[in-house]
Structure 1
Amino acid sequence: MLQTQRPQSGSLPSPILFFSSLILLLVFPLFPLAAVCLDGSPPAYHWDKGYGTGINSWLIQLEGGGWCNNVSSCLVRKNTHLGSSKRMVKQIPFSGILNNKHFYNWNRIKVRYCDGSSFTGDVAAVNPVSYDFSSWQWQDNPGSDIPPPYRGLKMVTNLHFRGARVWLAVVEDLLSKGMRNAENAILSGCSAGGLASILHCDSFRALLPMGTKVKCISDAGYFINTRDVSGGHYIQTFFDQLVATHVLILSLSPHRYNI
């Protein structure tokens, strides 16, 4: 792990001096958890280790990046950094809340997003063994710079819908690295990561010691189920497909989340 520039004792660093360019850390959970990204690669996070008075304080940021709501869109996604740790940049600068001077000596973690379900999918089987692209719809993947396959092509998809297992594997890994002694812990996220911070706030609280002060922050992570500008119910249809594809019913409480 690269060492970051540290301020002198008793001083707060400026946003310019306070930076991190941290090496990607891969998580290899033991079987049977089998927590992997969409393509089967291990999940990953970046960690700037805390020190001094912040040694037992933890700030976790869940990366955002939308969702994939069906097999075709997940196939596109698995060939990007949002579906595979093999395609992630190995070193990144910390920004936003991770570059806030008030957390300068906390343990700061950016959890990379590679499952397409806001860390909630839980399907043991690899989906499916083959896929017929004769029904591929380019509009399933608006804005993608990856062209669709030829119609009629059949291939092995090798898709893993295991976001909930990724979440648990990362948290368990952090607990083993000192978070079990946390005095303060913040779970934050933006967009799809912000939704994940809502959905996993209770489990995050439950995995930490009772004496730990825990807060959850959702930045642009609340998506209202209402009609769109054309009068349709796009977001309802989209999330219905998301739930069906990643089998979220297994990892989310139907009473709490109104599924």
Structure 2
Amino acid sequence: MDNFNVFLWVAFPWLAIAAFVIGIIWRWRTDQFGWTTHSSQIYESKLLRLSSPLFHWGILFVFIGHVMGLAIPKSWTQAVGVSDEIYHVVATYPGTVAGVAAVLGLIGLIYRRVVNRSVFLATSKSDKVMYVLLGGALASGFFATVSLQLLGGPHGYDYRATISPWLRQLFIFQARPELMTDVPWEFKVHVLAGFTLIAVWPFTRLVHAFSAPLGYTTRPYVVYRSRDTRTGPVKEHVAWEPIRSHTEQLDERNQTPSRGA
């Protein structure tokens, strides 16, 4: 195998993973205030309420499908009695539905960014790069699924015999780039787009994916005003005493008992 292919299927994925791990640690240690979605809901919420759940639920099931297809060896599913035909149907059709949801949601989010001027002005350069790379990874994966798995015959392309073992060997530092030699170009483009997205992940708003608000349900209430009758009024500085009208001052003077009474 030539050096270019070794770089593509060994060096580049390792560099992307290293950039991801180091970038996440660096971002957490130096920019926790920037560890956020940079929500633009204040500018527009109608399209966001539709597109955001559609994209996030779709991408969640896409991710689950990737984990199942890439991490679980083919021999394991065969050992429990799941044939290749059944696996293909279970993986392809729900995966296509999830892909459609994710693609439509992302299109809605990008359309919202472009059309709404306030949202567009609040879009940073890193957001624009993120949307391009995210769109490329999602579009290439959806195209590969539809062209090779959904329309590529009753069995589709058996990526569990090539891409899956290649990726698992990559993670245990026993790279086998030769497994990617005969992989269709559609999947090759998707793999490269995916690792490119992984490399820039820590430097974009995508870091919010690792910030599940688990502590929100157990945090104490924020007390704005106490309902405890035993709590006395807070002494205010005289400089902040409100200016009363002349009528209020006369009423207060009339209600005050005289000293001679």
RCO higher in structure (CA 8 A, sep ≥6): 2
Structure number having the greater strand percentage: 1
Give the helix-richer structure, 1 or 2.
Answer: 2
> Same-fold call, TM > 0.5?
no
TM-score for the superposition, normalised by structure 2: 0.25
TM-score of the aligned structures, taking structure 1 as reference length: 0.25
